[in-house]
Every structure is written in C-alpha cells, then in structure tokens.
A and B are shown apart, each in its own frame.
Chain A
Amino acid sequence: MPLTISILTGTNVSIYRQIVEQVCAAALAGRIQDDEALPSVRTLAEELVVNPNTVARAYSELAREGVIESRPGRGMFVSRRRQIYSGAERRRRMEQAVTSLVAEGFMLGYTPADIVELVEARTRERPSTTSSKPPNKGGAR
C-alpha cells in the first residue's frame, strides 16, 4: 500500500508535524517498503497542496530523527535501521500512548486488570520483530 498522508488545517497540530507523524507511523507499520522511495518534496507538496518548504522541513526532521535517509541520486528512503526515536522522545511517546490507552479504558469502564490483560493479549498477537533495546538515558543525539 502506498504512502497516504492526509492533511487537516485548523487543528492544533501543524502541517509540518502531521507529515512527520504520518511518515513515522507508515514506516513503523511497514506500510513503506525498504526499497520504496518516498515522493520528492515537490511531488508531495503538490499532491497535498501545501508549501514545499513545509514538506522539506518535515523530511529534514525525519532524516535528523533517523526515520528516513537520503540515498544519493535515488531520493529519500525509510532507514534500514529503524532507530526512530532517541531516549527521551521514545519514552515521551510511549507514555503519551499509554496515558490515552488507560484513560480510554477507564472511561469505558474497564478495570486495571482488564486493561493489562488486553494489552498482553495484543502484544502476544504481534511478536516484536525489532530487538527491544531499553532506552538509553540522556543520549538524545
């Protein structure tokens, strides 16, 4: 399935951030293949009807975070080593996801034990393919 990005205006999330997050999500979910080039800045800008500088800035942030890498003469690709987030950011994102998961669970009337059980079941369904290194503290760069 090709990379599809949808942009919403008038939300709390900037367009630049929306692109970064959706490319990240697609890379993590394996929706972009290793040998598949990302659309060029120009192509994506015209497709999404957004300023090319915004796309360039998103790509440059993704490259800095190690999600994508430039292969000279061939364009931008998803990095082979999926070292997507560094220590603090990785932790922050995980906590954000857990917070919303737990809040949703409580709102729907689940007990803590129910929530843990569901999470365990889900993690067994999809065994981790990448080695789960503990986040290295402080090494933000």
Chain B
Amino acid sequence: MSSLPTTYDPVQDPPRDAVIETRGLTAYFGDKCVVDQLSLRVPRGSVFAFLGRNGSGKTTTIRMLLGLLPPTRGASAVLGCDSRALTPAVLARVGYMSESHSLFDWMTVRQSGEFASRFYPRWQQRIFDSIVGHFRLSPGSKAGRLSRGERAGLSLAITLAPQPELLILDDPALGLDPVARRSLLESMIYVTRGAERTIFFSSHLLDDVERVADHVAVLDRSVLRASGSIETIRAGVRQFVLRFDTPHAPPALPPIRGLLHARQLEHEVRLVIAAPDDDTQRVIRSLGASAVDEVPVSFADAMIGYLGDRGQQGFFLDDAVFEPAGGAT
C-alpha cells in the first residue's frame, strides 16, 4: 500500500481509459443465447486476448462491437462511441480483420493495397509494404492465388496501413503455418510501438497469447468467466496435488468454490482452482490426503482449466478478486 514504485509499472499503475466497453451485452439467435450479459472493459494500450472455444460467442461479440449485428439486450461502445451509431470517422480509427479475410480475388497484392488506400486518409504505404515484405508476398500475385497464411498477411497489411488506434482481429492466426504465425506475432508487437494503440484479438493459440497479450478474457459457452491482466489471471489460478496412501481411495469431491478442473489418478487428485481462499484450503485439508502440495500451473493449463468441460460454472475471476500485489515482499 505504501510502496512507491520508482519506475513505470504497467501492471500497478492505474488503469487507462477503455477503448472497448460492453455492459450486459447479450445476443440471442432465435431462442439460443449466444452471448450472455457480457460486461467487458478493454484498456487503451493493451494487447487483449479474447479466448473461448469454438461457438462460445467470440465472433458474435466482435460483430456486435462493430455494429454489424444489433444486440438483443445491453450495449457496447468502441472508442467512446455507441456500437449502434458508429460514424465513418470513428470506424476509420478501427482496423478490423475478420476470420474470412475479405479480399478481392481478382486484384493483385499491389492493387489490393491501392484500392484500400483510397478509403483511408491516414494510409501509410510504408507500413503496407513492410508487412507485405514481412510475409514475403510478391506485389504482382493475385489475391485469389495466395495461400491461407499469405492471405492473412495481405489482410493484415491492409488493416495496419491506415494506422488504426484500435485493432480488432478475429482469430488472425487461424490456419497459419508456424512461420506465418511468427510473422503475425512480430507484426502485433510492432503495432504496439504506438503506445496508445490497442489490439483486441481472439485466438486459440495459448502459447502465442502468453507471448503477446497483457490482458485476457475468457468466454465459456456464452458467459464471461475471467477477465483481467495476464499476471492477475495467472496468479489467481492455482493447482494442488493431493496424495492418498494406498488403502484409501481418493474420496468423492465435495463442491469446491472456484474449481476449474479436477483430475483423479490412482493415488492422486489434482485440483485446479481459481482464487482459492481460506475456505477452499479448509475443504482441501478435510479430504484426508496424506500430503497436499501446491504445484505451479502454466498459463496454458490455467486457461484450459477455464475452457475445459469439468469446471464448475458460475465463478468469475477478475482483477478485483485480488488485492493489488503489494510489491515483492
């Protein structure tokens, strides 16, 4: 509390204003709830990963953010402007790359850039050329003949060249080979050279997310399950290994608050728990294990805990669950 950071600490410094904010955002397709009361806040300058399994509502959320789909209930704002009333001036500050990479197949790489450049006053040909070069595209190739990774590169170049303040990328790594994936990550890091730039992207590649993101949100079957800085989420998910001596089989598990994942082995039970408190510890001790050890959990395992099926529904983890880390004492 009294610690005075002498250097800039992005984690402990007060949060900046939000470039995306949703309140109770809800979408129904018929009587099927696709996004359920989503309240999300994406701070300016963050690289924000939006995680969730296929069909969890990520793309629908992004479409609502951009005003491409009206929400059933709730509201969202992008760059301070209501999603249902985004003006061309606001949209010009947003770069959006859809899953399908909408390109005109009959245009060459160069022509695609020339065409797109006319819509954006802030278009920087230098950025376009450098991303195209980074993905090793030849300017004369027809868009229709590009590989999946090359199409992603061209889309990315078109999305980045207008120097958007907010970048919304819907699963940009989908179907990319490792080299193209690395180029994508490098491009994303490059974008953050502008300190005020924000990237909001969905992905399934947890290793990539761990590298480039500083914030994550997890959507599980339409419901937001976790949202916050990557360090917070990581520190909040803990793993306990309970060992049982031979004659005693591990008992049936009682309900444990925040349980994300339980794995029963012959003489061992592994529990992945979000934000365990004293109560949780008491429950764990009451199970009669001969030894209880805490084992660190990787970022990917923590996220899989959230995304997997065995978790307990209804537990929410965010920055507010934890006291701010009071320095390294």
- Contact residue among B207, B214, B300, B327 (Cβ-Cβ distance under 8 Å from A54): B214
Within residues 259 to 304 of chain B, which ones have a CB less than 8 A from any CB in chain A? 295-300
- Contact residue among A10, A45, A56, A141 (Cβ-Cβ distance under 8 Å from B300): A10
Residues of B within 8 A of A56 (CB): 8-10
Residues of A within 8 A of B328 (CB): 61, 64-65, 89
Say yes or no: is B185 at the interface (Cβ < 8 Å to chain A).
yes
Please report the C-alpha to C-alpha distance between residue A50 and residue B182 in the assembled complex, in whole angstroms.
11
Nearest chain B CB to A15 CB, angstrom units: 7
Please report the C-alpha to C-alpha distance between residue A51 and residue B209 in the assembled complex, in whole angstroms.
10
Size of B's binding interface in residues, CB under 8 A: 34
A53 close to B185 (CB less than 8 A): no
B213 close to A51 (CB less than 8 A): yes
A59 close to B7 (CB less than 8 A): yes
Known A-B contacts A10-B206, A46-B186; the reply to A53 vs B10 at CB < 8 A is yes
Residues of B within 8 A of A64 (CB): 5-7, 327-328
Say yes or no: is A49 at the interface (Cβ < 8 Å to chain B).
yes
A63 close to B189 (CB less than 8 A): no
Residues of A within 8 A of B182 (CB): 49
Please report the C-alpha to C-alpha distance between residue A60 and residue B328 in the assembled complex, in whole angstroms.
12
Nearest chain A CB to B308 CB, angstrom units: 16
Please report the C-alpha to C-alpha distance between residue A64 and residue B192 in the assembled complex, in whole angstroms.
25
B8 close to A9 (CB less than 8 A): no
Nearest chain B CB to A134 CB, angstrom units: 21
Q: Which residue in chain B gives the minimum CB-CB distance to A8?
A: B207
Within residues 224 to 240 of chain B, which ones have a CB less than 8 A from any CB in chain A? 231, 234
Within residues 175 to 190 of chain B, which ones have a CB less than 8 A from any CB in chain A? 182, 185-186, 189-190
Please report the C-alpha to C-alpha distance between residue A70 and residue B6 in the assembled complex, in whole angstroms.
11
Please report the C-alpha to C-alpha distance between residue A130 and residue B48 in the assembled complex, in whole angstroms.
44
Q: Which residue in chain B gives the minimum CB-CB distance to A88?
A: B329
Known A-B contacts A53-B214, A61-B328, A64-B327; the reply to A12 vs B296 at CB < 8 A is yes
Within residues 44 to 60 of chain B, which ones have a CB less than 8 A from any CB in chain A? 47
Please report the C-alpha to C-alpha distance between residue A57 and residue B207 in the assembled complex, in whole angstroms.
19
Residues of A within 8 A of B47 (CB): 51, 53
Residues of A within 8 A of B207 (CB): 9-10
* Interchain residue pairs A-B with the least CB separation, the first 6: A12-B296, A9-B207, A60-B7, A53-B10, A53-B214, A9-B210
What are 13 pairs between A and B in contact, CB < 8 Å?
A7-B211, A9-B206, A10-B206, A12-B295, A14-B299, A45-B189, A46-B189, A50-B212, A53-B214, A56-B8, A60-B5, A61-B328, A63-B6
Given A46-B186, A49-B182, A89-B328, 18 more pairs with CB closer than 8 A? A9-B299, A10-B299, A12-B298, A13-B296, A15-B210, A16-B231, A49-B185, A49-B189, A49-B211, A52-B192, A53-B11, A56-B8, A64-B5, A64-B6, A64-B7, A64-B328, A70-B7, A141-B329
